């Protein structure tokens, strides 16, 4: 895949970029390794000052970078602005809290004595150079939610971004440099996917994190396992959205639309499978379908647009194949199910609701990465939970109910990294984010995320020595 900005509203290539050659990659690896040895000795206060400066620059440049993101991958401009603001918020959050999140841990004194020590504590130390392999769908946020905690922990970063968002990738490398971070502290590698393995195998790289497709996750995990390096993987999702009779159906249906078409439907944590109790299925379906059909598809630079194009031509093709397969096997498109009339250019697809989805249809088990929702009618909560878990993925989940017993059962039994009750899944710096099953492993954000790329080191001192 060429490294290029291709406007998804027209399909036209706007800019192309040369990939780094071996010498260019080597220079960046050398800079990263050299900087890692020094940067780990900086204080939390020093790192925080730099990260806050990066947040200030990002806030001042929000409109420009938002337009760059929209141009490169098609998200509505308002959503791009919100993404930039969220990134600045995460930077400030980690700048304020990293020191306390990584504070030394002191075991109970009785346990220390039992271990034969005068003192014992656990300290968190950075691993060093971390490679981040990032996707195009949230081209700023996916990177910052790794970079902010990693930099505050004293690590340095190498970014291999998706090849269709090179301008956003270059902006990120320059942002941290302009904020005053030492040279080599955070660098963008304009390389293709085939070059990732060599970088990951390089002994100067300590660990890797990847957000992306399941095949990409397998490839990175396989290489990292071969060279025994830590990885964090956030992969696909096919999140359930369970609606029970006690729910506020009007609100559940309205929120369901946003939950499905956020980012033009191209979000791992977007609700995709809508599992609705039979007593409220008809009302929910009517409200949900009408609202989906009423969405405005169009130019993502226009403020009135609800849903822009898919980011790539291949992505639209994959989505069309999933929908066409379901319809051939008996599913019904209650709305959408086609390219919108009048859009001769670009990679647009209508917001779509599919009813009658059954096992055996590809869309029942595969992730639909676009504005396509599947509906399921269930008799009770037990069937809803069974349906929710009947997927290889386990990223997040949603439940709409006023019944505390429903909440307890779903929290206990649904296999996912999160359960969001009476609201849609969202990420926040304070909350751990990640999945189970084939949605990956490890966690981003919160204290869990900042500790993923730290060495938890035990400091033990014998009882017959003076304490430090």
Instruction: Inform me whether the pLDDT recorded for 434 exceeds 60.
Output: yes
The number of beta carbons lying within 10 Å of the beta carbon of residue 202 is 17
The closest of 292, 259, 263, 300 to 396, measured between CA atoms, is 259
What confidence score (pLDDT) does residue 465 get?
54
In Å, what is the CA distance from 222 to each residue of 37, 123, 226, 232, 394?
27, 30, 6, 12, 21
Kindly name the residue from 87, 185, 268, 335 that is annotated as catalytic: 268
For 20-24, 231-235, 291-295, 464-468, which range has the lowest pLDDT when averaged over its residues?
464-468
User: Phi/psi of residue 311, each to 5°?
Assistant: -70, -30
In Å, what is the CA distance from 440 to each residue of 140, 221, 233, 345, 387?
21, 10, 5, 35, 20
Instruction: Inform me whether the pLDDT recorded for 466 exceeds 60.
Output: no
What confidence score (pLDDT) does residue 151 get?
98
Q: What is the DSSP string of 123-173?
A: EEEE--EEEEE--SSSTTHHHHHHHHHHHHTT-EEEEE--TT-HHHHHHHH
- Asked if 268 is an active-site residue, the reply is yes
What confidence score (pLDDT) does residue 1 get?
77
The closest of 239, 193, 183, 175 to 418, measured between CA atoms, is 239
What confidence score (pLDDT) does residue 37 get?
98
- C-beta separation of 39 from 156 below 8 A: yes
pLDDT in tens, 310-336: 999 999 999 999 999 999 999 999 999
- C-beta separation of 133 from 212 below 8 A: yes
Residue with tokens 């006690």: 246
CA atoms in the 13 A half-sphere facing the CB of 230? 14
Average pLDDT, the chain: 97
- Give the whole-number percent of the chain exceeding pLDDT 70: 99
- Asked if 335 is an active-site residue, the reply is no
In Å, what is the CA distance from 41 to each residue of 94, 245, 315, 337?
18, 57, 44, 56
For residue 464, name the pLDDT band (cuts at 50, 70, 90).
Answer: confident
- Give the whole-number percent of the chain exceeding pLDDT 90: 99
Residue with tokens 């035990």: 458
Kindly name the residue from 72, 83, 234, 444 that is annotated as catalytic: 234
Instruction: Inform me whether the pLDDT recorded for 467 exceeds 70.
Output: no
pTM recorded for the entire structure: 0.96
pLDDT in tens, 359-388: 999 999 999 999 999 999 999 999 999 999
| CA 281 – CA 259 distance, rounded (Å) | 18
pLDDT in tens, 108-126: 999 999 999 999 999 999 9
Calculate mean pLDDT across residues 198-206: 98
Pair of tokens at residue 288: 């949900």
Q: What is the DSSP string of 115-130?
A: TTEEEEEEEEEE--EE
pLDDT in tens, 145-190: 999 999 999 999 999 999 999 999 999 999 999 999 999 999 999 9
Instruction: Inform me whether the pLDDT recorded for 417 exceeds 90.
Output: yes
For residue 463, name the pLDDT band (cuts at 50, 70, 90).
Answer: confident
């Amino acid at each position: 895949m060429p490294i290029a900005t291709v406007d998804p509203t027209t399909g036209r290539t706007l800019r192309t970029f040369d990939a780094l050659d071996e010498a260019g990659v080597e220079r960046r690896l050398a800079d990263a390794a050299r900087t890692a040895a020094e940067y780990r000795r900086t204080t939390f206060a020093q790192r925080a000052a730099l990260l806050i400066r990066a947040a200030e620059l990002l806030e001042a440049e929000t409109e420009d970078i938002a337009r760059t993101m929209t141009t490169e991958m098609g998200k509505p401009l308002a959503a791009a602005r919100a993404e930039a603001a969220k990134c600045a918020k995460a930077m400030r959050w980690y700048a304020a809290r990293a020191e306390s999140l990584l504070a030394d841990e002191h075991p109970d004194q009785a346990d220390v004595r039992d271990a034969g020590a005068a003192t014992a504590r656990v300290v968190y130390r950075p691993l060093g150079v971390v490679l981040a392999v990032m996707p195009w769908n949230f081209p700023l946020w996916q990177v910052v939610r790794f970079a902010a905690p990693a930099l505050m922990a004293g690590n340095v970063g190498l970014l291999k971004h998706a090849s269709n968002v090179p301008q956003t990738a270059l902006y990120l490398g320059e942002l941290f440099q302009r904020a005053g971070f030492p040279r080599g502290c955070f660098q963008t590698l304009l390389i293709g996917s085939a070059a990732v393995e060599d970088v990951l195998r390089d002994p100067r790289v300590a660990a890797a994190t990847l957000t992306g497709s399941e095949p990409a996750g397998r490839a990175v995990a396989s290489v990292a396992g071969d060279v025994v390096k830590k990885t964090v993987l956030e992969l696909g999702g096919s999140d359930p959205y369970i609606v029970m009779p006690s729910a506020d159906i009007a609100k559940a249906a309205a929120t369901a639309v946003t939950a499905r078409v956020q980012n033009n439907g191209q979000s791992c944590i977007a609700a995709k499978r809508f599992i609705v109790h039979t007593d409220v299925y008809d009302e929910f379906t009517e409200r949900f379908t009408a609202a989906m059909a009423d969405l405005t598809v169009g130019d993502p630079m226009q403020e009135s647009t609800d849903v822009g194009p898919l980011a790539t031509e291949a992505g639209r093709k994959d989505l069309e194949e999933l929908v066409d397969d379901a319809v051939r096997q008996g599913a019904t498109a209650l709305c959408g199910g086609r390219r919108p009339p009048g859009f001769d250019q670009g990679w647009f697809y209508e917001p779509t609701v599919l009813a009658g989805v059954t096992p055996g249809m590809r869309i029942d088990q595969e992730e639909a990465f676009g504005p396509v929702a599947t509906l399921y009618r269930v008799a009770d909560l037990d069937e809803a939970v069974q349906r929710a878990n009947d997927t290889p993925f386990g990223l997040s989940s949603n439940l709409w109910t006023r019944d505390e017993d429903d909440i307890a059962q779903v929290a206990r039994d649904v296999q996912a990294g999160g359960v969001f009750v009476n609201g849609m899944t969202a990420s926040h710096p304070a909350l751990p984010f990640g999945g189970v099953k084939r949605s990956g492993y490890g966690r981003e954000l919160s204290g869990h995320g900042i500790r993923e790329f730290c060495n938890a080191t035990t400091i033990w001192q014998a009882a017959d020595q003076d304490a430090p």
